[in-house]
Structure 1
Amino acid sequence: MDVSLELNHQHNGGSKFTDDDGRRVKRTGNVWTASAHLITAVIGSGLLSLPWAIGQLGWIAGPVFMIFFSFVIYYTSSLLADCYRSGDPITGKRNYTYMDAVQAYLGGFKVKVCGWIQYLNLFGIAIGYIIDASISLKAIEKSNCFHKNGDNSPCPASSNMYKYMIIFGATEIIFSQIPHFDQIWWLSIVAAVMSFTYSSIGIALSIVKVIANGGVKGSLTGIGSVTQMKKIRQILEALGNIAFAYYYSVILIEIQDTIKSSESKVMKKATLISVGVTTLLYLLFGCTGYAAFGDLAHSSLLNSFRSFNPYWLLDIANAAIFIHLIGAYQVYCRPLFAFIEKWAIQQWPGSKFISRETTLIGSFKLNLFRLIWRSVFVIITTIIAMLLPFFNDVVGFLGAFAFWPLTVYFPIEMYIVQKKVEKWSTRWVCLQMLSLVCLVITIAAATGSIDCIITHVQGHKPFKTSY
């Protein structure tokens, strides 16, 4: 796991056309571009489950935990930003990726652990996005059915969910053939616009619902009409969902590598802006959604508006989710694509099958190895999604699984090494206490999510059970 993902750096010395590391394309990023990248990365499908998560925790604990996670993300991201350069913060060696930073400061076995967690998590996120995208298309079909046949119509669509997964997978096979990350910038912009589209629609619909209800629903302690064991399990799962909604530290170093100067200072400002905007949007979305539906808030908010009129507005929101997830799938899979392909080139440097590029149309180039392996990757993730369509449980588990190591542990440990924080000093003890608290939350949330997954597996019949 020691292969760098950075493919476009040449170490020939700086000039007016290159940066200090000889990079061919000079960095031009600033606080606003970095903020835009972070906001785009953070706001995603995890937002849809926030009203349900607040419903498990209640009006007090729900917002408090949301603010707590935003604080943790901001603080540890600030520590991580200081680790972009090794040694001198101005002239020290750049760490182009998250794994490069772990290699520079911690090294050894921890690099491999970081790599496995990072790439397994990216693999899992890809599966979750396929499931969520299919749920969105299924929601459009059911919304149209209710509008046509009435609110009491059964409108069965259990088998169509798998059809939608296949449609999403086929679309990703096509987009996966775009060779390099920088060539899908337009897809990322479209995805970002779509994320703001469906989140805005969700907030607006919830406000309309609250007005129609004549008041705010929900309670201070959350859902109470369940057994104590189920209540505990759902609270733990809700913590995982909130953690996942804030998850972006794994790509922070890569974003920081686009900033033209004063990287650490600029990145901290960008982190403050992005976390502030995201937290405000999350609080609005989660609280208005819970206020609108109370204990009946669905694990994906838009599904709560089953027969809303005008129904086409709800269709637009679900279509926006589908389009957003097409781009998000590509963004999160690109680091994994680059890692495997660079590893293959290093293992078989003389193989024409791996390295040969054939120009097809314009500047588009086809590589047989890329065509086959990326297609197989998409097919595998699609099949797994079809076998395990437990979206809310998967989201909770992914958030819990990756939150502590990638968001808290590695940033804190690297910061301690970088700043030479003395062991058992006040700062060292406080950092370790923060890490321990987040570890306990991670273990608890993972336990709750795994329990929910086991419960669903017991009654699940592949390709037959509806979700």
Structure 2
Amino acid sequence: MIYQDAWLPITESRNGNKYYAAFHTLCSGIGIQALVLPVALTILGWSWGVITFTLGFIWQLYTLWILIQLHESVETGIRYNRYLQLFGFTFGERAANWLAVFPIMYLSGGTCVALIIIGGSTAKTFFQTVCGPECAKQLTAIEWYLVFTCAAVVLSQLPNLNSIAGISLVGAITAVGYCTIIWGVSVAEGRLPGVSYNPIKAGTQIEQIFSVLNALGIIAFAFRGHNLILEIQATMPSSEKHPSRVPMWQGVKVSYTIIAACLFPIAIGGYWAYGHMVTTQLNPPPPNPL
């Protein structure tokens, strides 16, 4: 192990296994983006919606498999634990500094902002549900964002990624749980009166094109987790006889089987239950920051 990997939190521990890989991958592979998948079907319709979603899932698995294979060089044994390292090996260090650093920084920053907003809003809703209106002091959404950020800072003090495998397991269980509850309740309640499955058509041709692109973006946005694959695999021991790509791929296959069992029912079941009215049923209003 090189010196940098020995002290950085992600790769400080090499005690990971296929179970840890499954927990981490499952936790990172399901997000709130999955809840708006039925909206894409209102634009694409049944046939093109299901076809596009299926192709997207296959492409997700294929690109994950490529990343797992690229993580470790068969010839040199060097492990590329981060995208910047892999980019530098592929295109050169100079190109990596110019072309990879900025996208990694703004994507990481955007992800952090989105998680803080979602996490803080969810914590506020949970607190209001549990505590009720009799609570003397209700924090604002911005204050809940700060609470969530502080909790994330405390959690980041743990020594390495393997030390939060239990938290990833809890996150995976809750993600699977709320996905199952949402599509299960939608299907159990049945279709709404007057539901229609005719694709929503925008006014002009340009608007229709942008609507289709928006639907494709919703589907692409639901497939997540690539940003952590290299780091998750970096926590596993590897040798010539027992390369890390074998247990990593085993964990990914298990986790994405479960992910498919969550995302496909949400997309298909949600659209079946609500049809063109899904936008008013599944999209809550944005939180009030005050």
- TM exceeds 0.5? yes
Q: Which amino acid aligns with 2:141?
A: Y
Partner residue, 2:105: 119
Partner residue, 2:69: 82
- Provide the secondary structure at the position in 2 that maps to 1:172: helix
Q: What TM-score results when the alignment is normalised by the length of structure 1?
A: 0.51
Q: For each residue in 1:262-300, what CA deviation from the matched residue of structure 2 results, as whole angstroms up to 9, or x when unmatched?
A: 222333343333333323321101111111211121388
Question: Is this contact kept in 2: 1:202–1:285, CA < 8 A?
Answer: yes
Matched, 1:97 2:82: yes
Question: Is this contact kept in 1: 2:88–2:94, CA < 8 A?
Answer: no
The match for 2:197 among 200, 212, 219 is 219
Partner residue, 1:297: 278
Q: What TM-score results when the alignment is normalised by the length of structure 2?
A: 0.78
The match for 2:174 among 175, 191, 194 is 194
Q: Which amino acid aligns with 1:85?
A: E
**Shift of residue 59 of structure 1?**
0.9
CA 1:74–1:209 in structure 2 vs 1: closer, same or farther (change >3 Å)?
same
CA 1:59–1:36 in structure 2 vs 1: closer, same or farther (change >3 Å)?
same
**Shift of residue 87 of structure 1?**
4.3
Question: Is this contact kept in 1: 2:87–2:96, CA < 8 A?
Answer: yes
Q: For each residue in 1:121-174, what CA deviation from the matched residue of structure 2 results, as whole angstroms up to 9, or x when unmatched?
A: 121122223333465568779999xxx9xxxxxxxxxxx9x9224313223224
Q: Which amino acid aligns with 1:121?
A: L
Identical aligned residues as a percent? 21
Partner residue, 2:60: 73
Q: Which amino acid aligns with 1:241?
A: I
Partner residue, 1:55: 42
**Shift of residue 54 of structure 1?**
1.9
CA 1:184–1:266 in structure 2 vs 1: closer, same or farther (change >3 Å)?
closer
Partner residue, 1:131: 117
Partner residue, 1:17: none
CA 1:135–1:230 in structure 2 vs 1: closer, same or farther (change >3 Å)?
farther
Partner residue, 2:235: 258
User: Aligned residues, how many?
Assistant: 272
Distance in 2, matches of 1:35 and 1:129, equals: 21
Task: Specify the structure having the higher radius of gyration (Cα).
Answer: 1
- The aligned runs of 1:202-281 (5 Å cut-off) are 202-210=182-190, 213=192, 217-219=195-197, 222-224=199-201, 227-260=204-237, 261-281=242-262
Distance in 2, matches of 1:294 and 1:142, equals: 31
Partner residue, 1:377: none
Q: For each residue in 1:412-446, what CA deviation from the matched residue of structure 2 results, as whole angstroms up to 9, or x when unmatched?
A: xxxxxxxxxxxxxxxxxxxxxxxxxxxxxxxxxxx
Distance in 2, matches of 1:103 and 1:61, equals: 38
Distance in 1, matches of 2:120 and 2:204, equals: 31
Distance in 2, matches of 1:219 and 1:190, equals: 36
Question: Is this contact kept in 1: 2:124–2:144, CA < 8 A?
Answer: no
Question: Is this contact kept in 2: 1:52–1:299, CA < 8 A?
Answer: no
Distance in 1, matches of 2:147 and 2:127, equals: 20
**Shift of residue 36 of structure 1?**
2.6
Range with greater deviation from structure 2 (38-47 or 96-105): 96-105
Partner residue, 1:326: none
Question: Is this contact kept in 2: 1:139–1:303, CA < 8 A?
Answer: no
Cα RMSD, aligned residues only = 3.6
Q: Which amino acid aligns with 1:6?
A: D
Structure 1 unaligned blocks of 5 or more: 10-22, 149-159, 305-388, 392-461
Distance in 1, matches of 2:215 and 2:129, equals: 27
**Shift of residue 100 of structure 1?**
1.9
**Shift of residue 259 of structure 1?**
2.9
Q: For each residue in 1:330-377, what CA deviation from the matched residue of structure 2 results, as whole angstroms up to 9, or x when unmatched?
A: xxxxxxxxxxxxxxxxxxxxxxxxxxxxxxxxxxxxxxxxxxxxxxxx
Question: Is this contact kept in 1: 2:29–2:223, CA < 8 A?
Answer: yes
Question: Is this contact kept in 2: 1:95–1:253, CA < 8 A?
Answer: yes
**Shift of residue 82 of structure 1?**
1.6
Question: Is this contact kept in 1: 2:26–2:255, CA < 8 A?
Answer: yes
Question: Is this contact kept in 2: 1:289–1:297, CA < 8 A?
Answer: yes
Question: Is this contact kept in 2: 1:96–1:253, CA < 8 A?
Answer: yes
**Shift of residue 41 of structure 1?**
0.7
- Provide the secondary structure at the position in 1 that maps to 2:65: helix
**Shift of residue 80 of structure 1?**
1.6
Q: Which amino acid aligns with 2:180?
A: S
Distance in 1, matches of 2:184 and 2:264, equals: 14
Structure 2 unaligned blocks of 5 or more: none
**Shift of residue 119 of structure 1?**
2.4
- Provide the secondary structure at the position in 2 that maps to 1:86: coil
Q: For each residue in 1:378-397, what CA deviation from the matched residue of structure 2 results, as whole angstroms up to 9, or x when unmatched?
A: xxxxxxxxxxx6x9xxxxxx
Question: Is this contact kept in 1: 2:84–2:100, CA < 8 A?
Answer: yes
Question: Is this contact kept in 2: 1:66–1:279, CA < 8 A?
Answer: no
Distance in 1, matches of 2:222 and 2:208, equals: 21
- The aligned runs of 1:429-448 (5 Å cut-off) are none
Question: Is this contact kept in 2: 1:35–1:274, CA < 8 A?
Answer: yes
CA 1:252–1:241 in structure 2 vs 1: closer, same or farther (change >3 Å)?
same
